[in-house]
Amino acid sequence: MIDWKRKLSSRKFWALVVGVAASVLVLVGAGEDAAVKITRLITAVGSVVVYILAEAHVDGQKAGKGGDEQ
Q: Tens place of pLDDT for every residue, the chain, 70 residues?
A: 778 778 877 888 888 888 888 888 888 888 888 888 888 898 898 888 888 888 888 888 888 776 555 4
- Judge whether 53 and 8 are in contact, CB under 8 Å: yes
Tell me what pLDDT residue 39 has.
85
pTM of the model: 0.60
Cα 61 from Cα 45, distance rounded (Å) = 24
Tell me what pLDDT residue 70 has.
46
Tell me what pLDDT residue 58 has.
86
